[in-house]
Structure 1
Amino acid sequence: MKRRSLLLLPLSFGLPALAGGPPPPPLTDRLAALQKRSLLPGFAVAVVSRKKVLYQHGFGQADVAGQRPYTEDTLQNVASVSKTVVGVALVKAIELGYFGLDTEIERILPFKVRNPHVPGAITVRHLVTHTSSIVDDEDIYGHSYTLLPDADRKGPLYKAFERDATVPGRLDASLGAFLKNYLAPGGARYRKSNFAKAAPGSAYRYSNIGSALAAYLVELKSGMGFDTFTKRHIFEPLGMHATRWHADPALAHRQASVYNRKGQAYPRYGLVTYPDGGLTTSVSDLARFLMAMVDGFHGGAGILSKAGFALLFKPQFAPDALPAGSPPGEPNSGVFWRIRKNGQVGHTGGDPGVAAFMFIDPAKGTGRILMTNTEFSGPGEDDDPRMVQQVREIWSALAGVR
C-alpha cells in the first residue's frame, strides 16, 4: 500500500463554459446529479470565506450496504491533507519557542538521524519542504498500517490488506519507535537506502516519514503526544469536536466505509505514522479549520499570531532557486502547505479507499474542500481518468460560490 499526495491532479483547470442555453441548476442539485453518475460512493464539499461557511453538503453514501447517507458530519480520514495540520502545529511550536525552522533535528531527537551518503545536518525546514533526503521505502513504509479491533475480518479485502499493508504483531507500533527503527543507525529497519544521495535541502523528494518526524519533534519538545498537542492548540479552539487522529468508538456510527475502485470496502485501519495522513474529520469540522486558515492567510490571527500565519504560508524558496525535482504544478512550499503554480495554497491526499483536497484561493478569498470515500487508484494502478474528470467537475462547480 502506498500513501501519497495527489500532486498531479489538475483540480485548478476549469471546465469550458457553454455558450447560451439555460442557466445551471442550483449547486446542490448539480452536485447531486454529478454524484449519481459518478464512480464516487459518497463525498462532501465545503466552501468558506474568512468569516463564514459559504456552502457545505454531503452526497451519496457513507455506507453503501447499509444505505447510510454521506453528510457534512460524516467522518473519514483525509490522508495527506493531514499535513496542513502538522504545518500549523509546527508553527505553533515555533511560537512557543520550542525550535525554529533552521534548528537541526538532532538537537531535539534522542537518536541520531544523518544522511549516510553526504555531509550536512537535516533541519526542520528540510522536513516541512520535503527536502530532507529521507526516502519512504515502500517495502517498509507500505506496511505501516494497522488493523483496528473492529475491522471486518470477513470482508473481501481483509486478508489482502493484512498481508500487503501491515506487520502483524509489530514491536515498533508507536510513532517514536517506528521512526527510530527506520532512521537511526542500528535500528531494525534502518538502511542507507532510507536516504537519498542528494544533500539535505538540495532536492525535493516527498516523504511521509519525514512529515511524521516533524510531528514527533513537537511531541518531544511539548512533552505530550502530538494528538494531545493538536487537540489543545488547534481542534478545541476551533470547535473541531469530532476530529481525531485515532479511532474513537463513540464516533463509530459517523465513520464512513471506504472503498476500492471495485466498490469493495476496506477493513478499518489506522496508521503507525499517523500525523502524515491519519486525520479523521468531517467536512463541517475541516471547514472550521480552513476558515481560520483563509483568515490567517489574509492577515488575521487566532490559533496562530499574524506573524505565525505569515510564516506558515511564506514561500520557502525563491522562484529562481527551487530544489531540484520540484513538482511543476506546485513548485513551492510553505510550512507543509503546498503552493501551486496557479497561486492556490493547500494539499491533496490519497490513502486506501479515500481521497481529499483542500485549497485556499487567494484571489477569491475563499477555500474549498472535497473529501470522498473511495480511491483513484489501487496498488500498481494509474489514476482512473473517469474519476479524475468527475472530481474536476465537482471542484469546478464549487468555484462559483461566493
Structure 2
Amino acid sequence: MKNLYSLCLFLLMFTFCTAQKKTSQELLKTQKELTDKLAEISKTTSFNGFGVALVNDREVLYQNGFGIAHINPVQKYDEHTVQNIASVSKTLIGIAILKAQELGKLKLDDPINTYLPFKVINPRFPNIPITIRQLTTHTSSINDNNGYMTQTVVLKDTADLAKNLKIDISPTKFNPPSSKISIEEFLNNILNEKGKWYSSDVFLDKKPGELFNYSNIGTTLAALVLEKATGIPYDTFTTQYIFKPLKMNHSGWNFKAINFSKYTRTFIDKQTPYPYYSLNTYPDGGMLTTSGDMSKYLLELMKGYFGNGNILSKESYKEYFTPQLKAENFQDRSNSEYSDEYNMGITMGFGSTGNFGHTGGDPGMNSVIWFFKEKKMGRYLIVNTDWDPKMSGKDQKAIYDLLDEYFVRLDAISRSGN
C-alpha cells in the first residue's frame, strides 16, 4: 500500500512538472514572437526608443524595450533602460498618502494647513480650507500658473548652457542648474502670498472642492504635506513603502538614485537629443524607472484593484480606486474612453467606461499606463522622443494592437499553468 501511494505521488508530481514545463515553454515562445514583432516595428517608428509592459491580475506577462537610447555612441533601449515617466509619477502620490493614513500620520480630509510650515489659502475664499483629498483629486483650486511653468524644469549641468536655455519647450522652459531647490522652497515661493513668485492667478476663482482643475502644483503640495506629517522626505518615504516592497531596485527620484549609465537621452526628433533635465516639483513628474520595474508596479496596482495588493490594505486600495468626483465638478468634461480625466480616484484617473490609468508628457517623452478591468489587463508604453503629430499616433496604435493581441494569448497561458 505504501509503495502504491509513493508511485501515485511520483506520477502526480511528474505530470505536474511536465505540464509546468510545457506551459513555461509555450510562454517563452509566445513572448519571443511578440518581441520579434515589436522589434520589427521599432525599425520604422517616429521615436528612437520605447519601453512596454503587460500584466494580468496574477503576474507580469511581458516587459521589454526597443530601439535606441543613445545615438552617439549608439546604445540600445531595453527593459533595463532608465527613463523619466512624467505625470504617471503622480499615481505614487495617492498610494503614499494612503499609506501615511494607514500609519496614522494624516487623514485625507485633514486641512493641509494643519501640517504646512506656511499658509496656503485661496485669497478669494480665505475661510474655506483646502484638504489633502482635494489636492489628490485636483479640486483644490490651485492652478498651474506661469510661475510654475517657467520655474520647475532644471538642466542637469552647465554644458552648452547658453544654447540649451534657448531651447523652446513651451509652455515650460529650461532653467540653469543653480535653480535647483527643494519642493518646500519652490512651493513657498509660488503659493505663499509672501513668496517671490507668488501671483493671485495661482488660485482659481472657484471654491476649494468645487471644480476639477488638473494641478501639478497641487499634487506636489500633497507630497510636501506627507513630508511634514510623517517627518520623512517624499523620495525616502516612497522608496521605503513602494519601491523596496515591490523590489523596484532600479527606480528613484534623482540621477544619483539610479544607474545613470542606463539612463536614456530624450529627443526633440530622431537626430537631436535634449539636454538632461529634472524637475523642482519632482513628485508630480520626476520618477525615474525602467520597463522592468514598471511591470512590477503595474502588477501591484492590478492586484490592488482586485483586493489582493501588498503595499496597501484592501480598504485603502478601495479608496484609491473609487471615483471621487461628480458631474458638477467638471467644465468641458472629456467623455473619451481613454481620457484619464473623466473622473479621479486618489491621483488615479478614470476614463468614461470606468477603465483607469494615467498619462504623462515632458520634453522628449510620453508615457501611459492603462488598465482594462474586465480583461484584467494592465498595459504600459513609454517613448523617448517628442510626439510627431503625423506619425506617432499610428506607431502607438501598432504597438497597442500587438500588445492587446498577445495579451489574450499570454493571459490564457498564464491561467492554464495555475
TM-score tier by shorter-chain length is: 0.7 to 0.9
Is the aligned partner of 1:46 residue 2:53?
Answer: yes
Over the matched positions of the two proteins, sequence identity in percent amounts to 37
Change (3 A) 1:202 1:53: same
1:387 to 370, 389, 392: 392
Q: How does 1:102-251 map to 2 (within 5 A)?
A: 102-119=109-126, 120-149=128-157, 152-153=159-160, 157=164, 159-160=166-167, 164-166=173-175, 169-170=178-179, 173-248=181-256, 251=259
Tell me the SS of whatever aligns to 1:364. coil
Tell me the SS of whatever aligns to 1:56. strand
Question: d(CA) in 2 for partners of 1:73 and 1:141?
Answer: 31
TM-score normalised per structure 2: 0.83
Tell me the SS of whatever aligns to 2:68. strand
How far is the alpha carbon of 1:262 from its aligned partner?
5.6
One-letter identity of the residue aligned with 2:108: L
Is the aligned partner of 1:72 residue 2:79?
Answer: yes
Equivalent in the alignment of 2:102: 95
* Alpha carbons 2:357, 2:369 under 8 Å: kept: yes
2:292 to 268, 284, 289: 284
* Alpha carbons 2:251, 2:290 under 8 Å: kept: yes
How far is the alpha carbon of 1:325 from its aligned partner?
4.1
Q: Which protein is bigger by CA-based radius of gyration?
A: 2
* Alpha carbons 2:154, 2:175 under 8 Å: kept: yes
Q: Which one is further off, 248-257 or 338-347?
A: 248-257
* Number of corresponding residues: 369
Q: For residues 21-67 of structure 1, give each alpha carbon's deviation from its aligned partner in whole angstroms, at most 9, with x where no partner exists.
A: xxxx9322322222212111010101012231111121101112222
Q: For residues 110-168 of structure 1, give each alpha carbon's deviation from its aligned partner in whole angstroms, at most 9, with x where no partner exists.
A: 1111111234211111111111111111344333122224x643897465379932156
Tell me the SS of whatever aligns to 2:99. helix
* Alpha carbons 2:108, 2:131 under 8 Å: kept: yes
* Alpha carbons 2:46, 2:270 under 8 Å: kept: no
Is the aligned partner of 1:341 residue 2:352?
Answer: yes
Q: For residues 59-98 of structure 1, give each alpha carbon's deviation from its aligned partner in whole angstroms, at most 9, with x where no partner exists.
A: 1011122221100110000000000111111111111122
How far is the alpha carbon of 1:240 from its aligned partner?
0.3
One-letter identity of the residue aligned with 1:296: G
Q: For residues 208-263 of structure 1, give each alpha carbon's deviation from its aligned partner in whole angstroms, at most 9, with x where no partner exists.
A: 01110011111111111100000000000100001010112761111001101363
Change (3 A) 1:82 1:198: same
Q: For residues 304-328 of structure 1, give each alpha carbon's deviation from its aligned partner in whole angstroms, at most 9, with x where no partner exists.
A: 011111111111024x444334433
* Alpha carbons 1:146, 1:269 under 8 Å: kept: yes
Question: d(CA) in 1 for partners of 2:161 and 2:71?
Answer: 17
* Alpha carbons 2:53, 2:63 under 8 Å: kept: yes
Is the aligned partner of 1:259 residue 2:259?
Answer: no
Q: How does 1:17-28 map to 2 (within 5 A)?
A: 26-28=33-35
Question: d(CA) in 2 for partners of 1:293 and 1:108?
Answer: 28
Change (3 A) 1:342 1:263: farther
How far is the alpha carbon of 1:101 from its aligned partner?
1.9
Q: CA RMSD in A?
A: 2.2
One-letter identity of the residue aligned with 1:165: F
Q: Which one is further off, 291-300 or 160-169?
A: 160-169
Question: d(CA) in 2 for partners of 1:301 and 1:94?
Answer: 16
Change (3 A) 1:196 1:249: closer
Question: d(CA) in 2 for partners of 1:328 and 1:99?
Answer: 34
* Alpha carbons 1:48, 1:54 under 8 Å: kept: yes
Equivalent in the alignment of 1:379: none
* Alpha carbons 2:48, 2:270 under 8 Å: kept: no
Tell me the SS of whatever aligns to 1:27. helix
One-letter identity of the residue aligned with 1:28: T
TM-score normalised per structure 1: 0.87
Change (3 A) 1:179 1:154: closer
Change (3 A) 1:31 1:152: farther
Change (3 A) 1:138 1:30: farther
Question: d(CA) in 1 for partners of 2:177 and 2:256?
Answer: 22
Return structure 1 stretches of 4+ with deviation > 6 angstroms: none
Equivalent in the alignment of 1:368: 379
